[in-house]
Chains A and B, each alone.
Chain A
């Protein structure tokens, strides 16, 4: 109990410091208020043209499709993070040492940082963009089930964090991890679901996504928002898919802990 209270205190403090840190660059976040709606507008017109005769494509109707792109854009603001880059910078500059000498798990520090950064994003990116989508494009942003959606977004944000953290840990072995990060970014941009709903992919590729972490960061919460989830021919209820998502979060947590331990072992062995 005492430990939890202490951890909460640390988290609050680190998050608050991070907010102050990024507040200096708050205008950078405003870029999102331009870019987000522009990309959404392009999607809006593309799908308007594609759906010109009505009906459904890959089992998705026009209305749903537009809501899908609206909500994935917004989810992105809630889940995005740069733990991979931050960690690899710490390792490359040797500043990771100063964390090894402080009484806390660096992953906890990094997560607290993300919580701070995203809290700022809620006000600078998420809320204004949501308002723009509602006012300009008249999109309904009421989730099918608020509770499951909130849980799903939190899980998505956590999973995104664990993946990024694992990529960051790789810099303990590879000094130049840019290529790796690029490869991750490539898969993420295709299979997270930001480009297009995953049901557009071939069935086998859809099925594989259950065992990769990417869909859990965007596609799953977007479908939970819409209220019906299906992929690879499987239709799952909201509690079921959120359960799977929670499992994915646990697996990613375990992988990140395992990698962290290996990295620490290496770090304390060679001091690199």
Chain B
């Protein structure tokens, strides 16, 4: 583990230095990514501007959900986006053996070596959106913060699981760059107050593919609206992540067996 942490930090340094080599390009693309992400709650803003609303949720409360969603998402992307794309391209080019030859578990190696600094823009936008909306809504208390942190970690593990499953799928569905669209669309259910969805979808988003944990649940916790069911949902979140990692590693073993 210590070896891995050292390697990871080193690779982050290299990745940032690499991006800095094209400083202008890096700053520009990060800026653009920030703007792109900042527009992420645009539909919500326009709805509330037109005098409409989601039942039971104020403007800044919905923005808080989306701020947390964006923050979790970009933090996870910072770590795993590179894993996904480099798995994909290695498989497409038939060069995944390179990864298997390294003296580290393949997943650890890929996480360490494919850090993507360009995603900083999303993190920045997430932090801004999160803190601005929080300044309007306030926090329900110290316990709420603790609850929030637990659920935030839960949300992070759901996305981790999703990334692992995507990467695993790319072993079978070679060269399909549209895989991410599937998972992006599923995650959309975590972006809005769950109360707007019918109960069947709410059930799925809580226990089966727990995407409600990515934005809605942690926001509810911060606002002091957490319910027992939400805490229960942290368990399927962890299971989901473990399932993702398991499937990914299984795919690698299958790949080794076939030899490409």
Contacts and interface: CB of A to CB of B under 8 A. Distances in A.
B50 interface: yes
A200 B49 contact: yes
A39 B52 CA distance: 21
Contacts of A45: 192, 196-198, 201
B185 A34 contact: yes
A35 B196 contact: no
| Band of interface residues on A | 20 to 34
Given A39-B185, A42-B188, A179-B28, A57 B196 contact: no
Interface string A157-196: 0000000000000000000101100110010001000011
A46 interface: yes
B47 interface: yes
Interface residues of B, number: 39
Contact of A57 (B32, B52, B197): B52
Interface string A22-55: 0001011001001100110010011011111000
Among A25, A42, A195: residue with most chain B CB under 10 A:
A42
Contacts of A195: 42-43
Interface in A38-83: 38-39, 42, 45-46, 48-52, 57-58
Nearest to B51: A57
Contacts of B201: 45
Contacts of B35: 186
A89 to B, nearest CB: 14
Contact of B185 (A38, A49, A52): A38
Interface string B28-43: 1100110110010011
Nearest to B198: A45
B95 interface: no
Contact of B181 (A35, A46, A50, A183): A35
Contacts of B177: 28
Nearest to B25: A176
Nearest to B177: A28
Nearest to A40: B185
Contacts of A178: 29
Interface in B83-127: none
The 6 lowest CB-CB distance pairs between A and B, nearest first, are A49-B196, A38-B185, A200-B46, A31-B178, A35-B185, A50-B52
Interface of A: 25, 27-28, 31, 34-35, 38-39, 42, 45-46, 48-52, 57-58, 176, 178-179, 182-183, 186, 190, 195-196, 200-201
